């Protein structure tokens, strides 16, 4: 039987790659950005929105769905695609990151990790085999191996974690049997080039269907992240997709694509939309600001999304200020459209060998979000990881 | 200049009427139900949804929009239609009911009513002239006169309130000047036939573009409400639309149509949807119930709404239980569709002289909501009205 998966590399431009990853639920045009549907729903959106927005891939969170409504229930309802009525490609993470950042009283051992649910405190255990069972029950097109996500700045910790993560990767590979599901490995190693090299080579030898770069955007600087990508991308197999997990800031996506990354996911566009932060070519604007009270313009002048075709900033500000649920949806539609449009432009620029021009043009205009705030967010994520208990 | 408004009575069947009320923003097929868009947005829905659902008319609340974002801002932004991007007919209430049920420290006098905002405690005053100024600034197709909504069961209070409501109706008629806006009078008089007759005759003499029946569904029994409609409908001019304010329970709509009512509005379908209560031919079902956890059926088997075409009860229950915003939207889409479909069937039944059959068929299957709960809700609304202070 031929595999339903195929990675077609159409063109490179420098290290950037224009490609298509074909799955049982359709092709993913790469470089691709996946909006996050944590609980089997991209918050405030529905499948027809995702189609209209041109989303080829969405991510769902294994940790959350395992706890609620449960992977077995979803399997009995026909799997994730049927359950959520989204018939395009789906990727699930392994839940590892959530166990280390969201769950309570986590205890890590060689065999797996025990934790308490952040919802009701109930006790659970993830092992590589258990996570494969859960992801195969959920039934996404792409599943991720269980890994440990350590503080990226601690060398000693990363050495120990990496060895365990590699043993877990082997066990996941052995336990994974669904031929209609691609299993991706996750390269770890913090900000340390030698560890990343080791990890890329080890996982490359296991012949995964794709390779994620994990453990970034969790406490390191942007420069450290980009340098790590410079090391890692060339070290993983060139004939498989490369996936940078948890990254969604436009400037980071552009820089990562230039270094050879093919896939991204992030809650950024959906989460900030619910906080009235809308993405524009000039950077984020916050629609709660008084300056928009009587602004008749759309969020973004040339934008073709439903929100911009239909509503003024003044109206959207009114909805946000009044706490109307629709505001969250209208903001989300725009922000996801903004990222999808960025990905379309990136793919066109790789085809035309104009990615450097796109980068220069984009960054000249795009005002980066407050770096202090972002640094603080990353520091908090890192502290979460530092709290982890190892037996 | 000919008026842009026209009421065409196509057919009667018993006291029930099939008609069209034409407005500057299009025709309203009657009997009609208007979903409520309190703050210039039908909660969780957007204009394209309202089109798809077949909504001919929506209601917005003058009290709320006056407070936030302010009628003058909306006027500067081009009026309510342009502001909210809904280009079908809009009706605004007068804000009177909200002042008496929602605002704080209200003080009523002959000239108007002074109150404090429920949002920030700021002091405001509504008079008939002020409310006409606000509604004309908002710019709906249909505006309502300022009235007093008294406890429907107190005769003496209704006698005094009615006299004042009539003087206010005259002042509203004088103050109202927009030719592209229809002004409706509001018949009051509680559950007392003689007062309703007096009110209908007095307001009929003022030649309003339509006649609302106010002060019902606020503490009286269903039997008292139906009896009041029996008295009031024949007493208002037959060549104008009749509007029963605040009524949206399916069984009440059917009974009111049979007595000659042409228009309804209510928060019921949208509000209960946000509480996981979905309308079906068998009555309301609450999707939080465990019995739906693995129910693969749509909310309503034969329903053509997006929610029923797309999602299972099991999935919707998961979204409600997990607190996903999308659940509120999916529930709202179904409930509004349910009422729109009911209105379509009612109109067809009037055309075919089969309204009694529709009523029998509908009521045989539709399990009424818990009467004790509903009675309690109506009692609370009445207590709000009893708290009003008169100088």
> pLDDT by residue (tens digit) across A345-386?
999 999 999 999 999 999 999 998 766 566 666 777 777 666
Q: What angle do CA B251, B255, B260 make, to 5 degrees?
A: 145
Q: Are B329 and A325 within 8 A, CB to CB?
A: yes
**Arithmetic mean of pLDDT, B242-260:** 97
**pTM of the entire predicted model:** 0.96
Question: Pick from A40, A293, A325: which is nearest to B44 by CB?
Answer: A325
Whole-number pLDDT of residue A381: 72
Q: Are A324 and B41 within 8 A, CB to CB?
A: yes
Q: What is the average pLDDT score of chain B?
A: 95
pLDDT band at B372 (very low <50, low <70, confident <90, very high): low
Whole-number pLDDT of residue B1: 63
Whole-number pLDDT of residue B390: 46
| B141 in active site | no
Q: Which residues pair with A252 in a beta bridge?
A: none
B325-351 helix and B250-258 helix, angle to the nearest 10 degrees: 20
Contacts of A367 (CB under 8 A, 6+ apart): A282, A283, A284
The residue in chain A having the minimum alpha-carbon distance to the alpha carbon of residue B295 is A77
Report the distance separating Cα B146 and Cα B133, nearest Å.
Answer: 11
Q: Give the number of other Cβ atoms within 10 Å of residue B204's Cβ.
A: 16
Q: Name the interface residues of B facing A (CB cutoff 8 Å).
A: 39-41, 43-48, 68-69, 73, 76-78, 83-85, 293-294, 296, 306, 310-312, 314-315, 318-319, 321-322, 324-326, 328-330
Q: Name the interface residues of A facing B (CB cutoff 8 Å).
A: 39-41, 43-48, 68-69, 73, 76-78, 83-85, 293-294, 296, 306, 310-312, 314-315, 318-319, 321-322, 324-326, 328-330
Report the distance separating Cα B15 and Cα B259, nearest Å.
Answer: 5
Shortest Cα–Cα distance, A314 to chain B (Å): 8
Residues of chain A short of pLDDT 70, as ranges, are: 1, 370-377, 384-391
pLDDT (tens digit, 9 = 90+) per residue, B88-122?
999 999 999 999 888 888 999 999 999 999 999 99
CA distances to A53, A264, B80, B180, B257 from B1, in Å? 46, 61, 24, 11, 33
A296 to chain B: which residues are within 8 Å by CB?
77-78
Whole-number pLDDT of residue B118: 93
Q: Which of B93, B141, B147, B151 is catalytic?
A: B93
Q: Give the number of other Cβ atoms within 10 Å of residue B377's Cβ.
A: 14
A47 to chain B: which residues are within 8 Å by CB?
310
**Arithmetic mean of pLDDT, B196-207:** 98
Any idea which of A76-85, B34-43, B124-133, B364-373 has the lowest mean pLDDT?
B364-373
pLDDT (tens digit, 9 = 90+) per residue, B263-309?
999 999 999 999 999 999 999 999 999 999 999 999 999 999 999 99
Whether a cis peptide bond, with omega within 30° of 0, leads into B288 is: no
Sheet strands (E) in chain B: 6-13, 16-23, 26-30, 32-35, 58-60, 90-92, 104-108, 113-116, 123-126, 142-144, 182-187, 210-213, 242-244, 263-266, 277-280, 283-286, 389-390
Report the distance separating Cα A98 and Cα A118, nearest Å.
Answer: 10
Any idea which of B86-90, B134-138, B229-233, B381-385 has the lowest mean pLDDT?
B381-385
B47 to chain A: which residues are within 8 Å by CB?
310
Shortest Cα–Cα distance, B101 to chain A (Å): 19
pLDDT band at B6 (very low <50, low <70, confident <90, very high): very high
Q: Give the number of other Cβ atoms within 10 Å of residue B138's Cβ.
A: 24
Q: Which residues of A are marked as active site? A: 93, 265
**Arithmetic mean of pLDDT, B122-148:** 97
Question: Could you tell me the two tokens for B185?
Answer: 């009078």
Q: Are A73 and B44 within 8 A, CB to CB?
A: no
Report the distance separating Cα B199 and Cα B149, nearest Å.
Answer: 13
Q: Which of B49, B141, B147, B265 is catalytic?
A: B265
CB pairs under 8 A between A and B: 104
A322 to chain B: which residues are within 8 Å by CB?
39, 68-69
Please give the DSSP secondary-structure letter assigned to residue B36.
Answer: B
| pLDDT above 70 (res B391) | no
Q: What does R_g of chain A's alpha carbons equal in angstroms? A: 20
Please give the DSSP secondary-structure letter assigned to residue A368.
Answer: P
H/E stretch holding B53 reads helix B47-53
Q: Are A306 and B44 within 8 A, CB to CB?
A: no
- What is the sign of the dihedral through the CA atoms of A84, B277, A326 and B323? negative
ipTM: 0.95
Report the distance separating Cα A130 and Cα B188, nearest Å.
Answer: 67
Shortest Cα–Cα distance, B250 to chain A (Å): 26
Whole-number pLDDT of residue B221: 92
Report the distance separating Cα B55 and Cα B45, nearest Å.
Answer: 12
Whole-number pLDDT of residue B210: 98
Whole-number pLDDT of residue B389: 46
The residue in chain A having the minimum alpha-carbon distance to the alpha carbon of residue B70 is A318
Question: Pick from B45, B73, B293: which is nearest to A294 by CB?
Answer: B73
Whole-number pLDDT of residue B380: 72
Whole-number pLDDT of residue A383: 72
Whether a cis peptide bond, with omega within 30° of 0, leads into A69 is: yes
Please give the DSSP secondary-structure letter assigned to residue B178.
Answer: -
């Amino acid at each position: 039987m031929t595999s339903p998966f195929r990675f077609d590399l159409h063109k490179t431009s420098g290290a950037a790659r224009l490609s298509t990853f074909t799955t049982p639920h359709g092709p993913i045009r790469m470089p691709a950005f996946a909006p996050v549907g944590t609980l089997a729903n991209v918050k405030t959106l529905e499948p027809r929105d995702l189609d209209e927005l041109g989303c080829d891939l969405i991510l769902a969170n294994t940790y959350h769905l395992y706890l609620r409504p449960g992977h077995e229930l979803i399997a009995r309802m026909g799997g994730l695609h049927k359950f959520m009525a989204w018939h395009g490609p789906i990727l699930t993470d392994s839940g590892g990151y959530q166990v280390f950042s969201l769950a309570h009283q986590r205890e890590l051992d060689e065999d797996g990790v025990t934790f308490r649910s952040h919802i009701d405190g109930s006790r659970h255990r993830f092992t590589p085999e258990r996570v494969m069972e859960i992801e195969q029950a959920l039934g996404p097109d792409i599943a991720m191996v269980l890994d440990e996500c350590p503080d990226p700045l601690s060398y000693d910790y990363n050495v120990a974690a990496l060895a365990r993560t590699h043993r877990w990767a082997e066990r996941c590979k052995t336990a994974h049997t669904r031929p209609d599901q691609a299993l991706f490995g996750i390269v770890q190693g913090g900000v340390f080039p030698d560890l990343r090299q080791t990890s890329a080579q080890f996982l490359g030898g296991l012949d995964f269907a794709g390779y994620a770069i994990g453990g970034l955007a969790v406490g390191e600087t942007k420069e450290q992240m980009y340098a790590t990508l410079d090391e890692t991308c060339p070290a993983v197999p060139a004939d498989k997709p490369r996936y940078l997990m948890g990254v969604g800031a436009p400037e980071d996506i552009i820089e990562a694509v230039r270094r050879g990354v093919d896939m991204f996911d992030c809650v950024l566009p959906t989460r900030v939309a619910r906080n009235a932060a809308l993405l524009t070519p000039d950077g984020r604007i916050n629609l709660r600001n008084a300056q928009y009270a009587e602004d008749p313009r759309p969020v973004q002048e040339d934008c073709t999304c439903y929100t911009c075709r239909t509503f003024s900033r003044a109206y959207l500000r009114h909805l946000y200020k009044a706490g109307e649920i629709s505001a969250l949806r209208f903001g989300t539609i725009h922000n996801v459209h903004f990222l999808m449009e960025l990905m379309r432009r990136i793919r066109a620029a790789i085809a035309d060998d104009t990615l450097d021009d796109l980068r220069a043009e984009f960054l000249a205009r795009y005002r980066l979000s407050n770096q202090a705030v972002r640094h603080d967010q990353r520091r908090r994520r890192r502290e979460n990881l530092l709290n982890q208990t190892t037996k």
